[in-house]
Structure 1
Amino acid sequence: MTDTISNLLEAAAGRAVPVVRGITDGQLADPTPCAEYDVRTLVDHLMQVVINFQALAARKEADFSSVRHYTDGDWRSRFADETGVLVAAWAVPGAEEGTAGTMGLPARTVGHMVLGDLTVHAWDLARATGQEFTPDPVVVDELVPSLAAMAPMARKGGVFGEPVPVPDDAPGFDKVLAMTGRDPHWQPA
């Protein structure tokens, strides 16, 4: 049986929140596997994604045009709170039905997009800050086929980088990272 997006997001958030809580203020300027982001701007981006995908679950418009800064005040607790709101938004009956967002994508595809961001960016942040990160295996099993299906569109839109070669027998999460353009063995310089 296919798991619901809200259950998958809850599992992903359970792994992402401790990573965000583990980031020190002294690490905010550190580089990440996303060359265009340092830790601070990646946290800002991830928070914006979490908030905007709450709106998309409710069939409201999301604003990705401006970049807000979230890394002030108690941003670690706010991230935990906002991921809880995200899970609840996708648990509302009908959230996975029909289309969501201005691109007219199936709602479940939109849910997979935020699931991918939450999981992959948690890995990015963990790698950048020297933390351990192991995604939930159920989430990985869901992401492998869903991100593979999205990859051509995501690359064309500049959301994914070019795929990184990995062996056929690589673990599922290494395949997820590689298809998004990340080297699964990336370490800070």
Structure 2
Amino acid sequence: MAQKLSGYHRALDLFEGIVGGVPHDRWSSPSPCAGWSARDVTGHVIGGQYAIIAMATGEEAPDAGTEPGRFAAGDALLAWRTARKECDAALTPEALRRPIAFGGLGELPLGDFLGGYVLEPLVHAWDLARATGQPDRLDPDLVHHAFATAQVVAADLRADGRLGPPLTPPPGATEQTRLLSFLGREPGTA
């Protein structure tokens, strides 16, 4: 199972590095996510860790999309590291085998879900980097993996209003730019 989760952990590591690099005066900076600040983006991903804990335990997941900054109040890096540590502890072998609902595709084991759960922390790492003036170049292998996931889940996310319409990338765009454009983000040069 550890091999299946290597991309997931690499995406979380990337996100953590960007959280750790946010200048103290940039937490209220607007992000590419409409209406969300850098703190909101961070809180959303932190809330996602608590949602994964809920999947692992069968409890009700918190709403990570409404007022997400509450998850990153105070020391956002400490809040992130705490949530990540708690999530890692919840991912027991039994929890990773636990079947979870995956939209219209039925159920799959939590471990398989997390094996594909690169898109969320990866793209929000880009959002946070953009909001806070950090380098926004993403790991190409993770981008490739995330793009495959995006093509599976985008229709449902757009139907729910959680993802904007796709944009047309410029000719010769990198895979990162194509992914971001597909997700409705204005990537500039990537």
Aligned residue in 2 for 1:74: 75
Contact persistence 2:154–2:163 (CA under 8 A) = yes
Q: How has the CA–CA distance of structure 1 residues 92 and 179 changed in structure 2, closer, same or farther, with 3 Å as cutoff? A: farther
Q: How far does residue 37 in structure 1 lie from its aligned partner after superposition?
A: 0.6
Q: How far does residue 28 in structure 1 lie from its aligned partner after superposition?
A: 1.8
SS state at 2:135 partner: coil
Q: How has the CA–CA distance of structure 1 residues 139 and 93 changed in structure 2, closer, same or farther, with 3 Å as cutoff? A: farther
| 2:44 maps to 1:45 | yes
* Greater displacement, 134-143 / 148-157: 134-143
Contact persistence 2:166–2:183 (CA under 8 A) = yes
| 2:185 maps to 1:182 | yes
Give the length in aligned residue pairs.
185
Aligned residue in 1 for 2:174: 171
* Greater displacement, 52-61 / 94-103: 94-103
Q: Which amino acid aligns with 1:115?
A: V
Q: How has the CA–CA distance of structure 1 residues 180 and 102 changed in structure 2, closer, same or farther, with 3 Å as cutoff? A: closer
Q: How far does residue 85 in structure 1 lie from its aligned partner after superposition?
A: 3.9
Q: How far does residue 91 in structure 1 lie from its aligned partner after superposition?
A: 6.5
Contact persistence 1:29–1:40 (CA under 8 A) = yes
* Greater displacement, 67-76 / 101-110: 101-110
Q: How has the CA–CA distance of structure 1 residues 108 and 176 changed in structure 2, closer, same or farther, with 3 Å as cutoff? A: farther
Q: RCO higher in 1 or 2 (8 Å CA, sep ≥ 6)?
A: 1
Q: How has the CA–CA distance of structure 1 residues 156 and 43 changed in structure 2, closer, same or farther, with 3 Å as cutoff? A: same
| 2:83 maps to 1:116 | no
Aligned equivalents of 1:36 and 1:129: distance in 2?
A: 15
Contact persistence 1:50–1:86 (CA under 8 A) = yes
**TM-score, structure 1 normalization:** 0.80
Contact persistence 1:151–1:160 (CA under 8 A) = yes
Contact persistence 1:11–1:136 (CA under 8 A) = no
Alignment gaps of 5+ in structure 2: none
Q: Which amino acid aligns with 1:131?
A: Q
Aligned equivalents of 2:60 and 2:115: distance in 1?
A: 18
RMSD: 3.1
Contact persistence 1:12–1:135 (CA under 8 A) = no
Contact persistence 2:40–2:67 (CA under 8 A) = no
Deviations 1:81-136 (A, max 9, x none): 32344455456356266334787553467436742111111110101110013333
Q: Which amino acid aligns with 1:48?
A: G
Q: How has the CA–CA distance of structure 1 residues 22 and 117 changed in structure 2, closer, same or farther, with 3 Å as cutoff? A: same
Q: Which amino acid aligns with 1:70?
A: F
Q: How has the CA–CA distance of structure 1 residues 105 and 63 changed in structure 2, closer, same or farther, with 3 Å as cutoff? A: farther
Q: How has the CA–CA distance of structure 1 residues 167 and 59 changed in structure 2, closer, same or farther, with 3 Å as cutoff? A: farther
Aligned equivalents of 2:96 and 2:18: distance in 1?
A: 27
* Greater displacement, 164-173 / 44-53: 164-173
Aligned equivalents of 1:71 and 1:94: distance in 2?
A: 26
* Greater displacement, 40-49 / 87-96: 87-96
